[in-house]
Amino acid sequence: MTIPDQRPAPSVLEAAIPVASLILLVALSYYLFGDAGGGGPNQVALIVATMIAVLLAWRRGHTLHDLGGAAIASVESGLGAIFILFAVGALIGTWAMSGTLVAMVYYGLQILNPNYFYVTAAAICGVVSFGIGSSWTVAGTIGIGLMGISANMGLDPAITAGAIISGAYFGDTTSPLSDSANLAAGVGNANLYHHIREMLPTSLGALAISLGIFWLLGSPGSFDATDKMLAIGAAFHISLILFLPLVVVVVMALLKVPPFTTIFTGALLGGVLAVVVAPERVLAFADPAAGVPSWLGCIKGVWQALASGYVSTTGQPALDQVATRGGMSSMLSTVWLIISAFAFGGVAEKTGVLDRLISPIVRTARTSGRLIASLVVSVLAAGISTADQYLAIVLPGRMLKQAFAERGLAPIVLSRSVGASATPTSALIPWNSCGAYLATTLGVATLSYAPYAIFGFASPLLTIAAGYMGFRILRAAPVTGDVSDSQEAGAADKD
């Protein structure tokens, strides 16, 4: 993480120009290119916005060398996300080849009803994400299976993606296994389980709102999946053994094995499973040269699926669309987007852009409700300008920590407000690492699914509402007590 340079802070106008330029350029990209903007135009917008930020900073005395170093350091901090992206691409490729993805679709068509599909998808993802603490793992495994089921039912992919994301981010904000929940608690010096307990009212409320809306968005009518299931059964050897890679991934996630290791292990296991259950499919995909041993041809097929994804050739367009997916190479556009976004974020942080934009907001916060609203706005500004969920948690939390203390608020009020706003809103920003990852993994552009990612809107809005109503406004304990302890205010601080 870079440290703001000790030079005169930029003016509000100078700080706003790069961020406004980025938003306008991305909006223009979407207008001109639509969902294809993530394939290059959005990256160009980020680079141009970065150059605007660099030019303004250079005029104020920053050296190009220092600004370049800040951009590079920021990109380095995003390498973990980039490797996870590659692992997910590899996993999708081998799971498509082994039939794991198709098996999810097959059994999903039997179990799930299109009338209740959206609400069911959100609920399933919420439960699993709470158990393993990772929205990315849920989206990259169960999420892609649900997207396949949705496509075969003829449902709206944008609403399906929104339901998956809403459920996944509920778990990410409330699970003790979630890295973002742990980070939010750490920013406020709050006990993790106290933090989660205080998060639950707004998070459960946001989930309830999400489930209610997805219930209303259900598609009434009958659906006969018999033909689709027969087609899947004729092309793939469907059995419960195909869920083995998914089970292993979930278990490893519960054991808190690092995400890259967990997901890439699932990818390798998917390749091994493909060789065991359908070696003829692997060999056909590899198209080995004459005289090459079959075992070597199988290695080639798995290797190719890991690198460039699997291409299904069943001759059934709907089925081939589900089973033709993945590969590390499919993530390259998203990696390009993340590199460009982190470079912009590094320059913005180095030059104090975020701090300058937040300071006027904080000065107007004269009540606890307004202070919490200011924090939520600051978190959103951080997510837009730094393109990183973790920076959106740390920077505003660090900047407003003293303001919360001066107001006599307990650290838990800061931590829960940060957690309820930074984590879910990161999925709504196209150039944020979370938004870019989800768009690529689920195959739906961020701006297309964003209106249906209900939890991402409801969670921060309920947090603001709770602040204005004085709900659970906890006061700091006496100095002699533990800094993470708090007591409820005798009289709620309301506007």
Radius of gyration of the chain measured on its C-alpha atoms: 24
Q: Give the pLDDT confidence score for residue 7 in this predicted structure.
A: 63
Give 105-122 as a 3 state SS string.
HHHHHHHCCHHHHHHHHH
Q: Are 475 and 408 in contact (CB under 8 A)?
A: yes
Q: What is the pLDDT of residue 97?
A: 93
Query: What does the pLDDT read at residue 484?
Result: 43
Successive 10-residue mean pLDDT values, the chain, 495 residues? 58 85 86 75 89 90 90 86 88 91 86 89 92 87 90 91 96 87 84 89 95 88 72 84 91 86 93 93 84 86 94 82 86 87 85 79 79 90 83 82 84 91 92 89 92 96 92 68 42 41
**What pLDDT score does 490 carry?**
35
- CB-based burial of residue 473 (10 Å sphere; 0-12 exposed, 13-18 middle, 19+ buried)? buried
- Contact indicator for 158, 449 with CB cutoff of 8 Å: yes
Query: Quick one: pLDDT at residue 200?
Result: 92
The pLDDT value recorded for residue 480 is 46
- CA–CA separation, 150 vs 156, rounded Å? 7
The per-residue pLDDT for 248 is 93
The whole-number pLDDT of residue 235 equals 80
Contact 167, 125 (CB under 8 A): yes
Give the ranges where 327-453 is alpha helix by DSSP (H).
332-350, 353-363, 368-386, 389-406, 411-425, 433-442, 446-449
| Residue that the structure tokens 């489930």 belong to | 211
pLDDT at residue 222, as a whole number: 61
- The model's pTM is 0.80
d(CA 386, CA 55): 18
Separation between Cα atoms, residue 198 and residue 157, nearest integer Å: 33
CA 379/CA 45 separation, integer angstroms = 22
Q: For 232-248, give the secondary structure using H, E and C.
A: HHHHCCCCHHHHHHHHH
